[in-house]
Amino acid sequence: MASDPLAVITRYYDGCSTGDVDLMLETLHPDVVHYFLAPNVGSAPVAGAEHLARYWRKVARMIGARWVVDHCLAGPDEAVIEWTMFWRPPEAGERVATRGAEWFTFTGGLIREIRSYYQQQPQTTELDGFPYAERGYSIAAAEHSALHPAPGVTR
C-alpha cells in the first residue's frame, strides 16, 4: 500500500466512485471518522472503515457519483485537497459538479480523519470565474484532472 497521501486519497476516491468497498478499506484506518459540513443532507459524522465504505457505495449508486481530486497540498500525516464530485441529482436529468475541499489526517499511511467542506446543491457549485480547465482541474466534459486520471489510466 502506498504511503504517499495523494496516492492514498485518489485510491480512496476511486473506491468511492466505483462503490468498491474492498478498495476503500485498503485506504482507511479502522477507526476513521468522516465529518461533514452542516446543513448538507446526511451531515452527521460517519465512523469506522466498514461503515464509511458501505456509506459511499450506497451514495455512489444512488446518485451516480464520481469524485476527482483536483489539487493537493500534502505532508506526511496530513493533506488538504480540492475535489469535484460529478453526480446526477434525483430531480435533474443532467450531471452537475459540486466543488469542495477536504482535510485528511493519516495514521500508519491510512486515512484516519476526513473533514469535508462543501455545499451540495442540485446545480453546479463552483468558484465564479475560476479558470478550472486552464489549471488542470476536472470539468464537465472531462471527469478527471491533472492529478487524478480517468479510470483505467495510471499516472
CATH number of the domain encompassing residue 76: 3.10.450.50
Q: State pLDDT tens for residues 90-119.
A: 877 789 999 999 999 999 999 999 999 999
What's the domain count of the chain? 1
**151 assigned to some structural domain:** no
**140 assigned to some structural domain:** no
Give yes or no for a contact between 23 and 8, defined as CB atoms under 8 angstroms apart.
no
pTM value? 0.92
**36 assigned to some structural domain:** yes
DSSP per-residue codes, 62-79: HHT-EEEEEEEEE-SSEE
pLDDT at position 67:
97
Q: State pLDDT tens for residues 25-81.
A: 999 999 999 999 988 877 899 999 999 999 999 999 999 999 999 999 999 899 999
Range of the domain at 78: 5-135
Take residue 92 and report the three cell numbers written for it: 435533474
pLDDT at position 154:
59
